Chains A and B, each alone.
Chain A
Amino acid sequence: MTVQPASHAADPMVPRRFRVDRAWSEIDGVASIELRPIDGGPVAFKPGQFNMLYAFGVGEIAVSISGDAAQRDRLVHTTRAVGAVSRAITQLNEGDMVGVRGPFGSAWPIAGQTGRHAGFVAGGLGLAPLRPAIYHVLANRSDYAGLTLIYGARSPQDLLYADEVARWKSRFDVEVEVTVDHAAPGWTGRVGVVTTVMDRALAGGDPALISAFLCGPEIMMRYGVMTLEAAGVGLDRIWVSLERNMKCAIGFCGHCQFGPTFVCRDGPVYRHDQIAHLINKSEV
């Protein structure tokens, strides 16, 4: 599904100016910012979409939107400092300005899954692009048969949105399983990869009822899809979000080409059966 940029942007290559309303550290090397548009106009996006964030004088990168789509006056982005631009974005402070182009790309089709069990599988910072979809299900919980989140991270110190995940876990109508790759004594949660937890979560359930949404390292998603498929979940009910080197965000430059598609325009969210023939090809 392709979603066109918001109509207020006459030219999708021209950034809109936003002010940093809040900035905070999430975990080591990862920070979130809440942005408000200078023009005071509305902000609209769908869960799973991304924006191009422009750190003035440094450069522009694609960052998924991690806030609540129901809040039409602000944007929230969570970024890990891995390069010059992302580092500049993680170092922004309240009152700083950024340029924003977007939203771009396809969305999690979460609104179309009513009556089904929404299963979210997140790895590392992959929870950020899934969070808007989780917010949607939480806000409309009675429309869905179930909500399960399986979240894996490197260590307990690397768990993103830990307080919020704990609040979700405390709800009686949400299943949350958190696992880490390794931990020191004192950690009372799970240690192991997400696929191990998925096996347990899927046991005894009705796979025909599950719509699964995966975001994280591509290898994790590959094994996650294999686990879902082995449990009987159809590939046409599994969506993944891919990450490639996105530059123009409108399908012109070709940097993010993925087979016959461009991740910025045709992705980042893909239904798995539509890309299953591409996902394991190292040339792609």
Chain B
Amino acid sequence: MQTHGFEEILSRHPVFAGFDGATLALLAGCARNEHVNAGAIIYFEGDPADRMYLIRHGDVAVEIGTPERDPIIVETLHPDDILGWSWMVPPYRHMSQARATTDLRVVSLDGACLRRKCDDNPALGYMMFKHLLPHMAQRVRALRLQVLDLYGTASS
């Protein structure tokens, strides 16, 4: 498998920018390119969370389904964002659904492959979590603000 291109792509991504060449080569072995057409569902809620997606081009809507109503978009993701954290946390199932709102190009990383490499190499595992955690924390902070429904009572 040609992984050299993936190493370069990963090295330019904010999460992996500090990784050395050998580590990037290791991760690149789990990577593949994907293209998703606008409007297509990338995964449904409850699906096995077997991939992490690095968005290269295009936009994604993260949606929560509601009975007898249209789903609600709770977050949109854009180039350089990461889609899908559930591959890190048992039972490895998606808690929301993701839809491409435009034509989408992503690099996806196989979750089982990443977990196996992290288990085999704890230093890599630590580094992965150390670099991913700030992004997850940023998303949690944003969601906290979102649930406050701040604008409901604002006045001029």
Which residues of chain A have a CB within 8 Å of any CB of chain B? 63-64, 66, 78-80, 82, 86, 123-126, 128-129, 152-154, 158, 181-185, 187-193, 195-196, 199-200, 216-217, 219-220, 223, 243
Contacts and interface: CB of A to CB of B under 8 A. Distances in A.
Interface string B62-86: 0100000011111110100000000
Given A183-B72, A191-B75, A80 B146 contact: no
Nearest to A189: B76
Contacts, number: 90
A133 to B, nearest CB: 14
B75 A192 contact: yes
Interface of A is mostly: mixed
B150 A192 contact: no
A158 B153 contact: no
Interface residues of B, number: 26
Contacts of B2: none
A188 B74 CA distance: 13
Given A152-B151, A216-B151, A220-B150, A184 B72 contact: yes
B11 interface: no
Given A63-B156, A154-B151, A181-B151, 14 more contacts: A123-B150, A126-B154, A158-B151, A184-B73, A185-B63, A190-B78, A191-B74, A192-B76, A192-B142, A193-B145, A196-B142, A217-B151, A220-B145, A223-B141
Contacts of B155: 79-80, 82, 86, 125, 243
B96 interface: no
Nearest to A153: B151
Nearest to B64: A182
A51 to B, nearest CB: 11
A90 B63 CA distance: 35
A27 to B, nearest CB: 11
Contacts of A243: 155
